[in-house]
Structure 1
């Protein structure tokens, strides 16, 4: 089954610039409020990281694209919230997702400014916290002092696992370096893992909502 990804790997190898642009846009769109909760940016980054050991893509450019996209996305969302203040949290499209907005605000009540750091690793809160930080009038210097280190760590945590996994498969799995099997295996694992995590979170949220709905009657 892994050989089905060979054309994709070859295409990325021949169009590395397009791959970096795709990664940049994925990281940026993940930070767009509401929209970011359905953009598979994490999957794209994890999958493309498998192409670094073979030289199709390079580590510095991968990290730069992910970091710049996330900084621009989070920063834009923050300044929109900073400009509109709390009114933005009750306007469309946020008015259709009151629970998500409430979760974002609860993050700040629980962790304070560190909510900006933690939220970068928690979907779908990641797509709402930056604009919430602006709406709650967090000072810009404090926002970026927490947000940028979180983004750098987030980018490394998404890019480096694929690099190490493919290298280990080559070294200890007996897979030749010229073969695409290791890369394809990691890409499929990244996609499958994302689906499993998404399903688990979806079921957990459904169960949580059901509990909250029935609890007043108890």
Structure 2
């Protein structure tokens, strides 16, 4: 009965998700935290699988529910901090020089984006933690603008704890049917990707028209 908590699901999961499952089997809550930190740095690692599985493992007794939420939130903060440091190290001056060299981009566009982030950065960091891909990318402009580190960590922790708790608790209560959470989260992710793709396409069309005018 008490053999492996997630082992029964492991053969059905391959790739990076399988690696995350194996990590949780060996390290418990710490493994879940490491997997989520990696997910922040490499968005293709699916948090919609890692988090429900962490909840399932907690339901099976491999870790407590508190450990599952605490360690995954800690992993989110660590991953976000590394990306924050990337932005802070790269610096605004380099970014502006790069913007001037890239096609369909300019320093004016960057200044507009920077002004927007200056006004709404705190909300972007907080709510961005609940949006696929954005939860990774939002840490970079926060670093570029040198958002106060305590504010950044606090907002990241609150946003991450909210999102992580939702999926961990769902996996915990659904038990062996944790895959249902993954299906729901995948559909949510598809909607986000579609909206981002449409937004990028609209921006590109506008930029090309502006350049040809």
TM range (shorter): 0.5 to 0.7
The residue aligned with 2:16 is none
Distance 2:113 2:132 in 1: 11
Return the offset for 1:144.
Answer: 2.1
Aligned counterpart in structure 2 of residue 69 of structure 1, from 67, 75, 100: 75
Distance 1:201 1:148 in 2: 22
1:190 aligned to 2:181? Answer: yes
Instruction: Pick closer, same or farther for the CA change 1:203–1:134 going to 2, 3 Å.
Output: closer
Distance 2:26 2:144 in 1: 36
The residue aligned with 1:42 is 48
> Does 191-200 or 15-24 show the bigger shift?
15-24
8 Å CA contact 1:82, 1:134 repeated in 2? yes
Instruction: Pick closer, same or farther for the CA change 1:88–1:47 going to 2, 3 Å.
Output: farther
1:28 aligned to 2:19? Answer: no
Aligned pairs, number: 185
Distance 1:41 1:106 in 2: 31
Deviations 1:40-68 (A, max 9, x none): 12321123312322323321221232022
Return the offset for 1:121.
Answer: 0.8
The residue aligned with 1:200 is 191
Q: How does 1:112-123 map to 2 (within 5 A)?
A: 112-123=121-132
Cα-Cα RMSD:
3.6
